[in-house]
């Protein structure tokens, strides 16, 4: 669950206080650093001026002693003048570098900062202990030596500390003032925000869009008013949705009731139709077979040629009609759930030979070669339904002959082995017109052919392949097709089978 919205308000207060404290601290650091820097610069300038003035006085006083090489006089002058200004070393040197007089030899340091070298970095002044100046000793405007003074800068640390203390005290006052100002800002800014956040929490947790935030002045008041407008819009939308849902639920209920009744009526009508067609299969086929037999007898009788042609037309038309009726009745049986599949010994070779023999005359009359190829590993006897297997194979062969103008139709049977057991694969290949790739997926759908022009050109109901697929599915197998437009097609079926060693195939 999300944290309450008031937490960000408290975080905002903390951020305001931190921002003020950070700003004051940064300003204090900058002010202290700048003040210290300026103080060190002033200290260096004052120290340089004072040491230079002292050195000039000493140079003027020691000029005669230096010119005469009087060490005693030079030493006396040095003691008389170089006794203050925190001097730790003083010397009078001749022009050749010889020291005529000096004081504080042991206190001289090697890292003295030479104030005569121009501007000195305040950082260097704070990191060294001594400062040095040198002034030439002149006689008649001619240098005859120099005075060197070295002073310590211990008082610099005291002055820097004093500056830091003053700046720190001022910074604390500024920090206290800033925090006081920030607390006032927090109260004026975060209190309305906290109230708005509590209202938001109540809306979010209770889904009560009738609540309203307390509107104030300024930007926070505008925010609260905008939130109230949003709540009013959401509340109105929810009411509209509730009204719409109520009407929609009633409409759905009525339509669902109508659809259920319509579906029940359609299911009952379809079931009645399927049961009727399945029941009427025998009643329709019996008189039709009688008519066909009589037409064939009439065609073979000693009749004038014209009457024989009439009889043959009747026989062929009757055969076509019977094939269509058989497809429709078989499909009705499948839909009615009255399709039965036997599991008895059968001979795959006998089934293939029977189908090839049945369609041999039709293939010869069309100028096509029809043959069967049975692999040697196909057993002599298997368990299955010889009638249904022959029906599937017959549908494949009939379909191949219908759409093949030249070439051949080949029936193949072979065994395949899978982890689940043995599989009988039957396939019928032709050199016919082929099927477009975009039509292959629906080729086994009932009442469907590859193209509407196919039905007009070749006839048929579009049920043969659908019946074959359902028969193979009832046997636990599956069907498929491979085709290239203009080159031919191969329809195949894979059926799980079991051996029937020692059992004689049943002839049907």
Written as one string, the DSSP assignment of 95-115 is TTS-EEEEE-GGG--TT-EEG
pLDDT the model gives residue 2? 47
The CATH class for the domain spanning 6-176 reads alpha beta
pLDDT the model gives residue 289? 76
Q: DSSP 3-state assignment of 381?
A: coil
pLDDT the model gives residue 397? 93
Place of tokens 């329709």: 284
Each residue's pLDDT expressed in tens, for the chain with a length of 508 residues: 444 444 554 566 677 777 777 777 787 777 777 777 777 777 767 777 777 788 788 888 878 888 888 888 878 887 877 665 567 788 888 888 788 888 876 445 545 666 665 556 565 566 666 777 788 888 887 888 888 888 777 766 677 777 777 777 777 787 777 777 767 666 666 666 666 667 777 666 666 656 666 665 566 666 766 777 777 777 777 778 888 888 888 888 888 888 888 888 887 777 776 666 656 666 676 777 777 788 778 777 787 888 878 777 787 777 767 766 776 777 666 666 667 788 889 899 999 998 998 889 889 999 999 999 999 999 988 888 888 898 899 889 988 998 999 999 999 999 998 887 889 999 999 999 988 888 888 788 766 655 555 544 555 566 778 888 888 888 889 999 999 998 999 999 999 988 766 556 655 5
Distance between CA 297 and CA 311 in Å, rounded? 9
Going by C-alpha positions, the residue among 478, 446, 480 that lies closest to residue 463 is: 446
* Predicted structure pTM score: 0.44
Residue ranges per structural domain of the chain = 6-176, 280-338, 340-499
pLDDT the model gives residue 368? 94
Going by C-alpha positions, the residue among 434, 464, 429 that lies closest to residue 451 is: 434
Distance between CA 496 and CA 478 in Å, rounded? 9
Second CATH level (architecture) for the domain 340-499: 2-Layer Sandwich (3.30)
Contact call for residues 470 and 479 (beta carbons, < 8 A): no
Strands (E) across 104-221 are located at 113-114, 130-139, 142-152
Q: Is 437 exposed, middle or buried (0-12, 13-18, 19+ CB in 10 A)?
A: exposed
DSSP-assigned beta bridge partners for residue 422: 417, 497
Q: Is 256 exposed, middle or buried (0-12, 13-18, 19+ CB in 10 A)?
A: exposed
Distance between CA 379 and CA 501 in Å, rounded? 9
State residue 149 phi and psi, 5-degree precision. -120, 135
Q: DSSP 3-state assignment of 228?
A: helix
Going by C-alpha positions, the residue among 32, 71, 13 that lies closest to residue 169 is: 32
Going by C-alpha positions, the residue among 90, 167, 166, 153 that lies closest to residue 124 is: 153
Distance between CA 379 and CA 360 in Å, rounded? 25
Helices and strands (H and E) in the chain: how many? 12, 12
pLDDT the model gives residue 353? 92
Place of tokens 């057991």: 421
Residue 150: which residues within 8 A CB-CB, separation 6 or more? 87, 88, 89, 90, 104, 107, 108, 109, 112, 130, 131, 132
State residue 13 phi and psi, 5-degree precision. -60, -45
pLDDT the model gives residue 494? 94
Rg (CA), the chain: 59
State residue 488 phi and psi, 5-degree precision. 130, 180
DSSP code of residue 420 = T
N- to C-terminal Cα separation, the chain = 74
């Amino acid at each position: 669950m999300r944290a309450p919205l008031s937490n960000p308000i408290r975080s905002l207060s903390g951020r305001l206080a931190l921002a003020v404290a950070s700003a004051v601290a940064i300003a204090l650091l900058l002010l202290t650093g700048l003040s210290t820097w300026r103080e060190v610069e002033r200290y260096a300038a004052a120290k340089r001026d004072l040491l230079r003035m002292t050195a000039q006085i000493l140079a003027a006083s020691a000029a005669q002693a230096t010119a005469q090489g009087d060490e005693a006089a030079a030493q006396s002058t040095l003691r008389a003048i170089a006794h203050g200004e925190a001097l730790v070393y003083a010397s009078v040197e001749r022009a050749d570098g010889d020291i005529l007089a000096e004081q504080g030899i042991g206190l001289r340091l090697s890292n003295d900062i030479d104030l005569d070298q121009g501007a000195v970095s305040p950082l260097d002044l704070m990191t060294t202990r001594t400062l040095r100046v040198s002034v030439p000793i002149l006689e008649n405007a001619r240098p005859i030596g120099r005075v060197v003074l070295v002073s310590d800068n211990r008082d610099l640390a005291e002055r820097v500390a004093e500056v830091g203390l003053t700046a720190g005290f001022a910074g604390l006052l500024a920090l206290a003032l800033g925090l006081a100002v920030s607390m006032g800002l927090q109260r004026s800014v975060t209190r309305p925000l906290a109230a708005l956040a509590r209202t938001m929490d109540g809306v979010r947790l209770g889904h009560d869009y009738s609540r309203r935030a307390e509107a104030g002045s300024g930007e926070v008041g505008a925010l609260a008013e905008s939130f109230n407008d949003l709540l009013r819009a959401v509340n109105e939308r929810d009411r509209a949705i509730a009204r719409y849902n109520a009407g929609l639920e009633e409409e759905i209920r009525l339509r669902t009731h109508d659809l259920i009744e319509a579906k029940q009526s359609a299911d009952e009508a379809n079931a009645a139709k399927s049961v009727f067609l399945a029941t009427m299969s025998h009643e329709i086929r019996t008189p039709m077979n009688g008519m066909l037999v009589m037409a064939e007898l009439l065609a073979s009788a000693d009749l004038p040629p014209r009457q024989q042609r009439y009889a043959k037309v009747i026989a062929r038309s009757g055969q076509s009609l019977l094939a269509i009726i058989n497809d429709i009745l078989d499909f009705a049986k499948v839909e009615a759930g009255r399709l039965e599949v036997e599991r008895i010994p059968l001979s795959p070779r006998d089934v293939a030979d029977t189908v090839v023999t049945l369609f041999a005359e039709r293939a010869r009359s069309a100028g096509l070669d029809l043959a069967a190829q049975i692999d040697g590993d196909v057993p002599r006897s298997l368990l299955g339904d010889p009638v249904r297997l022959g029906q599937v194979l017959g549908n494949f062969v009939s379909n191949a002959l219908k759409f093949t103008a030249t070439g051949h139709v080949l029936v193949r049977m072979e065994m395949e082995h899978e982890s689940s057991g043995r599989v009988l694969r039957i396939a019928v290949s032709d050199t016919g017109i082929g099927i477009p790739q975009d039509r292959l997926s629906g080729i086994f759908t009932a009442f469907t052919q590859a193209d509407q022009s196919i039905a007009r050109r070749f006839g048929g109901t579009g049920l043969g392949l659908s019946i074959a697929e359902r028969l193979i599915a009832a046997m636990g197998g599956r069907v498929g097709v491979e085709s290239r437009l203009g080159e031919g097609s191969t329809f195949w079926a894979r059926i799980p089978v079991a051996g029937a060693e020692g059992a004689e195939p049943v002839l049907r």
